[in-house]
Structure 1
């Protein structure tokens, strides 16, 4: 994530008011939102200085789990932790968007002992800024995590600052009953995909459910097209500012996307991801490229009717094995009021008991700990776990793989502009590249 010259400069790079309605399970970090949100106490630690000390029986959690399902899961985790340890976990839940927009300000104030966050680049950013606590000793007590998960939890200094809880792949979701009724087949190539979408349109469906009012869903479309057209290494290098957005490779991504836009649900900028998911649930759309959390928008008796396929191959020399599979989890404040209890909580969250609570509670995520009892996974979750297991490369998602200021102030408005008017791709990419140079050299 970004390393601006001053904090004031960082906060000056705000999310534009036009996208202030963002709301994602895991959305943009780093930007401080709008000035009206700063200093309002909307994202303040719920503990107090009196909580500190060896005899403390409380620990506080700053949570972005504001949607009903993840909020309920965290409440059950807190209850399980209290039963096991005798320590009360006080949860400070904040609207997902507000949490992300104010995270930088929050961590420099009096944050909660433990807070929800994301693996990879975003975690490393706050660790490098000295805004997160070292939890390497907690990792010494954990088991059931692959080397990939540990790597995603490790800062630039080789220490661990993150405990993974769950993850979810992005794929193209659909309702089996709709496809069976229409005789649709899973596409293997981009041509197959386009032909299928054209047929769906003739059949009166929105071929591809689509929403970008929240600002982030279109990033998933960009990611998968770039991964399929240019491969994983180019993608991560582009995210790191090492490749030019004006290159022919990136232009091909947008040209390909422009050809697919007529198959997307119209008026996407006025629609939330939940509303797009509901169009799939209501059998009005044929497909939806989104994370596994799309399952939250389906009734319990409809879960078995959800299926997915990984986005099809575009270049046979690159294949279709790379995908986005973001990891969610928890970090510790740099100076928690009760460090001992914070580490006890993180050890619990990284353990099997917590994994089993998450397995039962959230149909939209997979547990990171392999020791969890996944025998109760739905067919959808089993298939999703297999998909991630078979992936040759895994990206974290555009807004997690690049600097937060670049993702929020450049890519959100740029992708929304493209969706609104896909004709001037050259001009758009020149604008992105110019802004990238300014941001990545600051």
Structure 2
């Protein structure tokens, strides 16, 4: 559930243009690149050749980016649970998180593992559309405990499912209950309410909205939620996929609205990390903070019960306030797994209640996607977060997951930082974004 600590780490986690783009050059280089990776063991899959049937096999391979100690241990326990219930042994191929992402394209074009860890939304659809992932729609017919929004986030452009969710975390507006009780604040239901609340917080000597964008990605969350509230989920994902124009009146309205809210934001955001902004909320210097659930990491154990949140309020009554950012991590299947039957058995198990309960027992900091899991150990904050996501009509994956990583890193980071620094030339900014988008999405 953690976010990168610095802009350098953030950029390292994004798939480079040569990987994400899958342009003519990368297609031509694919076979050679995959061979080189296999030769070095950098991201070598355990999958077999295309001719392998896997009939009667009692093994399945799993490519994993869960290289940190806790998630690595949890996945091993999930694999052990699957083996115990099915008799099928899981060979886990764990690769450093960044290395996994940086080499995913060549990996999938070579001989990938039968099942591999990945992300919902655009990053899933990208590889599904290029025939580099297997259709798992029949697995979904055996799954339960997932909302329609989770299924939508697991569905490719062709209407088939290519992804099984495991865990997630939502974005919302967080605050300290004690501060709000002291001043008599109420959760806003509309943008007018939100503005009025911010104005009152200013009068009370608070920074209305804690804000930071030194590391480049936090402001993406503000853009996402405003676009979702003003233009709706479908326009948002189409814009992220390069199908809509950044110069449209719809996008201009998002930035105009944001410009009106900027005076409520903590000043000098470009020199502040998200942790520092979270500390201003923790220290009761700021009244609200739009961020992911990981904001709770910055609070002491005895302060956890003082944290609450609300989803960003409605802006257009015809669109409502049911869509939100909630990045989802999970699993996909290779396009031609060595053992398709075992791969689908593993995915069905991973998407089931037993696997979710293993995750919850061994990683209490995680929110599991399956609503049938035993969440009795959740804190009040996590229970509310799960309810929020469960009630969402659509789930966006956050800007840097919903679009091409090269567009996110080379275009949107500097563009949003430029806007924060000088919000007056919105037209010029959007023209620049659109021109760069055309260049990147047509490469």
Q: Which TM-score band (shorter chain)?
A: 0.7 to 0.9
| Alpha-carbon distance change, 20 to 153 in structure 1, aligned in 2, over 3 angstroms | closer
Pick which of 145-154 and 425-434 moved more. Answer: 145-154
1:125 CA displacement = 1.6
| Alpha-carbon distance change, 213 to 38 in structure 1, aligned in 2, over 3 angstroms | farther
CA contact (8 A) 1:81 1:87 kept: yes
After superposition, the C-alpha distances for 1:332-382 in whole angstroms (9 at most, x for unaligned) are 223445545433322221111112233445556543323222344332233
Q: Secondary structure at the match of 2:103?
A: helix
Q: Secondary structure at the match of 2:78?
A: helix
1:225 CA displacement = 1.1
1:384 CA displacement = 2.5
Q: Secondary structure at the match of 1:91?
A: strand
| Alpha-carbon distance change, 321 to 275 in structure 1, aligned in 2, over 3 angstroms | same
| Alpha-carbon distance change, 198 to 441 in structure 1, aligned in 2, over 3 angstroms | same
How many Å separate the matches in 1 of 2:209 and 2:22?
A: 21
CA contact (8 A) 1:28 1:407 kept: no
Pick which of 431-440 and 43-52 moved more. Answer: 43-52
How many Å separate the matches in 2 of 1:165 and 1:342?
A: 16
1:330 CA displacement = 0.4
1:203 CA displacement = 5.2
- How many residue pairs match? The answer is 442
Where do 5+ consecutive residues of structure 1 fail to align?
none
CA contact (8 A) 2:20 2:405 kept: no
1:398 CA displacement = 2.6
| Alpha-carbon distance change, 239 to 22 in structure 1, aligned in 2, over 3 angstroms | closer
Which TM-score applies when normalising by structure 1?
Answer: 0.78
After superposition, the C-alpha distances for 1:207-237 in whole angstroms (9 at most, x for unaligned) are 3333334433222110111222333343334
How many Å separate the matches in 2 of 1:296 and 1:401?
A: 25
1:126 CA displacement = 0.7
CA contact (8 A) 1:31 1:102 kept: no
How many Å separate the matches in 2 of 1:328 and 1:381?
A: 17
How many Å separate the matches in 1 of 2:143 and 2:182?
A: 47
CA contact (8 A) 2:64 2:93 kept: yes
How many Å separate the matches in 1 of 2:67 and 2:212?
A: 20
| Alpha-carbon distance change, 312 to 76 in structure 1, aligned in 2, over 3 angstroms | same
How many Å separate the matches in 2 of 1:5 and 1:389?
A: 29
| Alpha-carbon distance change, 68 to 289 in structure 1, aligned in 2, over 3 angstroms | farther
Q: Secondary structure at the match of 1:371?
A: coil
1:279 CA displacement = 4.4
How many Å separate the matches in 1 of 2:255 and 2:284?
A: 29
How many Å separate the matches in 2 of 1:326 and 1:67?
A: 19
| Alpha-carbon distance change, 191 to 137 in structure 1, aligned in 2, over 3 angstroms | closer
CA contact (8 A) 1:65 1:95 kept: yes
| Alpha-carbon distance change, 399 to 428 in structure 1, aligned in 2, over 3 angstroms | same
1:161 CA displacement = 1.9
1:348 aligned residue: 349
CA contact (8 A) 2:16 2:405 kept: no
How many Å separate the matches in 2 of 1:132 and 1:285?
A: 45
| Alpha-carbon distance change, 228 to 416 in structure 1, aligned in 2, over 3 angstroms | same
1:429 CA displacement = 0.4
| Alpha-carbon distance change, 364 to 12 in structure 1, aligned in 2, over 3 angstroms | closer
CA contact (8 A) 1:11 1:31 kept: no
| Alpha-carbon distance change, 175 to 357 in structure 1, aligned in 2, over 3 angstroms | farther
| Alpha-carbon distance change, 369 to 19 in structure 1, aligned in 2, over 3 angstroms | closer
How many Å separate the matches in 1 of 2:114 and 2:190?
A: 48
Pick which of 44-53 and 411-420 moved more. Answer: 44-53
Where do 5+ consecutive residues of structure 2 fail to align?
none
Which TM-score applies when normalising by structure 2?
Answer: 0.78
1:53 CA displacement = 6.2
The yes-or-no answer on 1:117 pairing with 2:118 is yes
After superposition, the C-alpha distances for 1:148-200 in whole angstroms (9 at most, x for unaligned) are 43343333445432111133332111222332234332223334333433454
| Alpha-carbon distance change, 279 to 326 in structure 1, aligned in 2, over 3 angstroms | same
After superposition, the C-alpha distances for 1:93-116 in whole angstroms (9 at most, x for unaligned) are 555455434322332344343222
| Alpha-carbon distance change, 392 to 142 in structure 1, aligned in 2, over 3 angstroms | closer
How many Å separate the matches in 2 of 1:6 and 1:290?
A: 16
CA contact (8 A) 1:24 1:96 kept: no
After superposition, the C-alpha distances for 1:390-415 in whole angstroms (9 at most, x for unaligned) are 43444333334334443343223322
After superposition, the C-alpha distances for 1:275-298 in whole angstroms (9 at most, x for unaligned) are 544544454543221223433444
1:198 aligned residue: 199
1:43 CA displacement = 4.3
1:309 CA displacement = 0.6
| Alpha-carbon distance change, 25 to 96 in structure 1, aligned in 2, over 3 angstroms | farther
CA contact (8 A) 1:293 1:363 kept: no
Pick which of 286-295 and 218-227 moved more. Answer: 286-295
Q: Secondary structure at the match of 2:24?
A: coil
